[in-house]
A and B are shown apart, each in its own frame.
Chain A
Amino acid sequence: MKLFHTKRRNILPGFGLSMGYTVFYLSAIVIVPLSMIFFNTVPMGWEPFVHAVTAPRVLASYRLSFSTAFFAAVFDALAGLLTAWVLVRYRFPGKQFLDALVDLPFALPTAVAGICFATLYSPVGWLGETLTKWNITIINSATGIVIALVFIGFPFVVRTIQPVLEEVEQEIEEAAHCLGATRWQTFKRILLPHLFPALLTGSTLAFARGIGEYGSVIFIAGNLPMKTEIAPLMIMSKLDQFDYAGASAVALVLLLISFSMLLILNAIQEWQQKEYR
């Protein structure tokens, strides 16, 4: 330990035991199982790997997963900012109730969300019936997937913006007001830049979650090859055909992307901390 400059000495007991168990459990449950993806992909060799992950159906599924997760994240950013703003700034009856319900997408099993949206937007559903009359199809389309992902990602944005917005000193806004700024100018010039890192963090979380989401999507997506098959479903169908190498290859690409999202997120958060220290 002398190699590293430590600010305080460790005097409490139990480091060896707790650290040992932490490393053991982390390896057994997370690291070793995750490494199986790698060990199943490497023996494939480069060309079969590239062939597996660039098959038209797989590429279409990546494209779909990304674009739907992206649009859902953008929508969530808007809806989440609006919700956080209203919940933090305004007073109205039923506010606490709505605030609590923001967490529902976290708590509700994804499969339940999936069958709900599929039923709501089915041609005979509460919303689907009217939409069908206007020639809008939600079910078995990318739009349907976006709707499910908006639901799943929504709390991430609200819950990241809320604490930041609560800490904004209203004196700044009052100062801007005194200096003659309009509300919109104050929002655009002062509040939005302040909230931006949190907004970005929240929507990146929603985006990352959206890429891997399965349960809420498959019911409304219809899973038509080349059209509405999401990337996790491709893994599922390769697994059903006992194509373990193919499934790991598709999974590896998805994992690498998710991990880079995680790294980007860490960078955003560091930047955020530097900005406001």
Chain B
Amino acid sequence: MLKEPTPETAPIVNKRVSDPLPVQIMLIGMMVLFFIGFIFLPLGLVFAQAFQKGLAFYLESITESYAIEAVKLTLTTVAIVVPLNAFFGVTAAWAITKFNFAGKAALKTLLDLPFAVSPVIAGLIFVLLVGSRTPFGSWLGEHGIKIIFSTPGIVIATLFVTFPFVVRELIPLMEAQGRDEEEAALTLGARGWQIFGKITLPNISWGLLYGMILCGARSIGEFGAVSVVSGHIRGQTNTIPLHVEILYSEYNFAASFAVASILVFLALLTVTLKVAMEKQFQKNSFHH
């Protein structure tokens, strides 16, 4: 908005106090070794295992009807979870960053709560709330509504697990941006939704998208919570990760890793998008 800032200047003096070359090489070597053991070998293994019975088997494994059903269920879950949590994230971040009120710190801590909860417990709480053996769950059952061991259960468990992702991206961003622009718009006569649509939303769009990508990635991959509430009914309540697990436990390793390779592609895509968006972030933050 003001003048373009100069790009970060290269260090004028290149000879900084740094570690001697042998130390550098040794430390880089140790790091690369760690990456080989913990990142590259597992990634390589997925593809090696996935293609061990050839390309035809690979394609068959990922296009077989149960796999397709699992992909559909996962996509359905993502399509419901991400917009709901994104909408909440924006609303909560608006309330928290644009106003002063007592108990703000406590509220922020509560928003992070799902991160401190084991995925298995995240599933358990919904079984306790709406499972068929609970009063509320049996009442729902009498009215023909089934939540646990069906799609709604998977959706709410995923909602819980991915609850903080968008809001915790937005709060620091909106706190840094402050309220001056919105307040200026207000004094110029803009109404609430105009302020939000024309000022706040464009300002936070990258952060919002970033949070949604993280939320989406976790929704696709969530295993523990979904595993508790799903009931593992093939073709009905199996998400992609659960399908991977079932194939694996049946010793159908090639098919299991073939389906897992879809998830690896998505994870690599997420990481790539993250890097691309962080660059955008940095560009954007120059303007503020």
A-side interface residues toward B, CB under 8 Å?
1, 3-4, 6-8, 10-15, 18-19, 21-22, 25-26, 29-34, 36-37, 39-40, 79, 82-83, 85-86, 89-90, 92, 96, 98-101, 103-104, 106-113, 115-117, 119-120, 126-127, 150-151, 154, 170, 173-174, 177, 183, 186, 208, 211-215, 219, 231-233, 235-236, 239, 242, 244, 247-248, 251, 254-255, 258-259, 261-262, 266
Q: Which of B60-68, B138-146, B203-211, B271-279 contacts A (4 or more CB under 8 A)?
A: B271-279
Please give 17 more A-B residue pairs, beta carbons under 8 A apart, in addition to A107-B274, A247-B124. Answer: A10-B100, A25-B92, A89-B18, A100-B275, A107-B217, A107-B266, A109-B267, A110-B224, A112-B260, A112-B267, A116-B260, A119-B257, A183-B23, A215-B227, A244-B127, A248-B124, A255-B117
Closest B residue to A83 using CB positions:
B31
| A251 partner residues in chain B, CB cutoff 8 A | 118, 120-121, 124
* Residue contact B116 to A208, C-beta cutoff 8 Å: yes
With most chain A CB atoms within 10 A of its CB, the pick from B16, B42, B91, B266 is: B42
| A15 partner residues in chain B, CB cutoff 8 A | 95, 98-99, 101
| B212 partner residues in chain A, CB cutoff 8 A | none
Q: How far is the CA of A177 from the CA of B41 in the complex (A)?
A: 40
| A115 partner residues in chain B, CB cutoff 8 A | 244-245, 248, 256-257, 260
Closest B residue to A86 using CB positions:
B31
* Residue contact A13 to B39, C-beta cutoff 8 Å: no
* Residue contact B119 to A214, C-beta cutoff 8 Å: yes
B55 proximal to A (CB < 8 A) = no
* Residue contact A109 to B223, C-beta cutoff 8 Å: yes
Q: How far is the CA of A191 from the CA of B20 in the complex (A)?
A: 17
Q: How far is the CA of A233 from the CA of B260 in the complex (A)?
A: 22
- What number of residue pairs across chains A and B have CB atoms under 8 A from each other? 271
* Residue contact A107 to B267, C-beta cutoff 8 Å: yes
Q: How far is the CB of B90 from chain A (nearest CB, A)?
A: 9
| B124 partner residues in chain A, CB cutoff 8 A | 37, 235, 239, 247-248, 251
* Residue contact B244 to A112, C-beta cutoff 8 Å: yes
| A170 partner residues in chain B, CB cutoff 8 A | 16-17
| B267 partner residues in chain A, CB cutoff 8 A | 104, 107-109, 112
B residues 7-47 touching A (CB-CB < 8 Å): 16-20, 23-24, 27-28, 30-32, 34-35, 37-39, 41-43, 45-46
Given A151-B38, A183-B19, A258-B116: A7 in contact with B100 (beta carbons within 8 A): yes
Given A33-B126, A107-B270, A212-B120: A119 in contact with B27 (beta carbons within 8 A): no
Closest A residue to B49 using CB positions:
A119
* Residue contact B27 to A85, C-beta cutoff 8 Å: yes
* B 230-265 binary contact with A (CB < 8 Å = 1; else 0): 000000000011101100100001001100100110
Q: How far is the CB of B152 from chain A (nearest CB, A)?
A: 13
* Residue contact A92 to B28, C-beta cutoff 8 Å: yes
Given A18-B92, A85-B27, A98-B35: A232 in contact with B120 (beta carbons within 8 A): yes
| B275 partner residues in chain A, CB cutoff 8 A | 96, 99-100
Find B91's partner among A22, A247, A248 (CB 8 Å cutoff): A22
What's the tally of chain B residues with a CB closer than 8 Å to chain A?
A: 96
| A219 partner residues in chain B, CB cutoff 8 A | 248
Q: How far is the CA of A116 from the CA of B267 in the complex (A)?
A: 14
B88 proximal to A (CB < 8 A) = yes
| B18 partner residues in chain A, CB cutoff 8 A | 89
| B46 partner residues in chain A, CB cutoff 8 A | 112, 116
Q: How far is the CA of A262 from the CA of B94 in the complex (A)?
A: 25
* Residue contact A244 to B88, C-beta cutoff 8 Å: no
| B274 partner residues in chain A, CB cutoff 8 A | 100, 103, 107
B71 proximal to A (CB < 8 A) = no
Q: How far is the CA of A89 from the CA of B18 in the complex (A)?
A: 8
Q: How far is the CA of A235 from the CA of B27 in the complex (A)?
A: 41
* Residue contact B192 to A14, C-beta cutoff 8 Å: yes
| B163 partner residues in chain A, CB cutoff 8 A | 29-30
* Residue contact A211 to B109, C-beta cutoff 8 Å: no
Q: Can you offer 12 A-B residue contacts whose CB atoms are under 8 A?
A: A13-B186, A13-B191, A14-B94, A15-B98, A109-B263, A110-B221, A112-B260, A117-B42, A119-B49, A151-B38, A208-B116, A232-B119
Closest A residue to B136 using CB positions:
A36
* B 99-117 binary contact with A (CB < 8 Å = 1; else 0): 1111000010111111011
B220 proximal to A (CB < 8 A) = yes
* Residue contact B271 to A104, C-beta cutoff 8 Å: yes
Q: How far is the CB of A107 from chain B (nearest CB, A)?
A: 4
